[in-house]
Amino acid sequence: MLISDDLPTYPGDPAVRISSKVSFRDKGYNVLSLCFGTHSGTHLDVPLHLIDRADSVDKIPLEKFAGEALFVEILKDENEKITLDEIRYLDLRNGDILIVHTGWGKNKYKKNYFTSFPYFSIDAADYIISKKIKAIGADIPAVDGPQQKGAFHRKMMNAGIIIIEALIN
């Protein structure tokens, strides 16, 4: 997602602010100040997000962010689960990066983008972990449904799996 002043932000997160600090007209170069929360636009969730004293992004080996990706389309609507039955057939291999396109990204500027998004079921988490993938990404603002209270996140993080959310162009 393009980082701009009108970028939608997760409820409770700080709004994006971009301001000019030095202009080309005055000094011959430009310097901008960017202020935004860590969950603005397309972003990573790493263990420190939900596990106290866990690894921050700078402590995670670069190799975790690169590799073979399996891109799948599992179209979903408001509040629908991505289930084990939909994930089980995938040819996931050790070290893969799973990218799931739900179609929810089309709602990125709608009010319900952050309130009614599709999410992964807990039993899908256990299966994904068993495949020893590196990372999972999706076009949804969070991988957990509201009633899961971060359970999918924690399972992924405890297994060393990076989460990429709001994966939208």
Q: For the residues of the chain, what is the DSSP string, one character each?
A: ----TT----TTSPPPEEEEEE-HHHHSS-EEEEE--TTSSSEEE-GGGTSTT---GGGS-GGGG-S-EEEEE----TT-EE-HHHHTTS---TT-EEEEE-SGGGGTTSGGGGTS--EE-HHHHHHHHHTT-SEEEESSS-SS-GGGTTHHHHHHHHTT-EEEE----
Tokens 């899908």: give the residue. 124
Whether the model pTM is above 0.75:
yes
pLDDT digits (tens, 9 = 90+) for 94-127: 999 999 999 999 999 998 999 999 999 999 999 9
* pLDDT at position 46: 85
> Tell me: domain 42-165, CATH 3.50.30.50, correct?
yes
* pLDDT at position 38: 85
* pLDDT at position 81: 97
**Domain range summary for the chain, segments of one domain joined by +:** 1-41, 42-165
pLDDT digits (tens, 9 = 90+) for 6-31: 888 888 899 999 999 999 999 999 99
Q: Could you tell me the two tokens for 168?
A: 């939208």
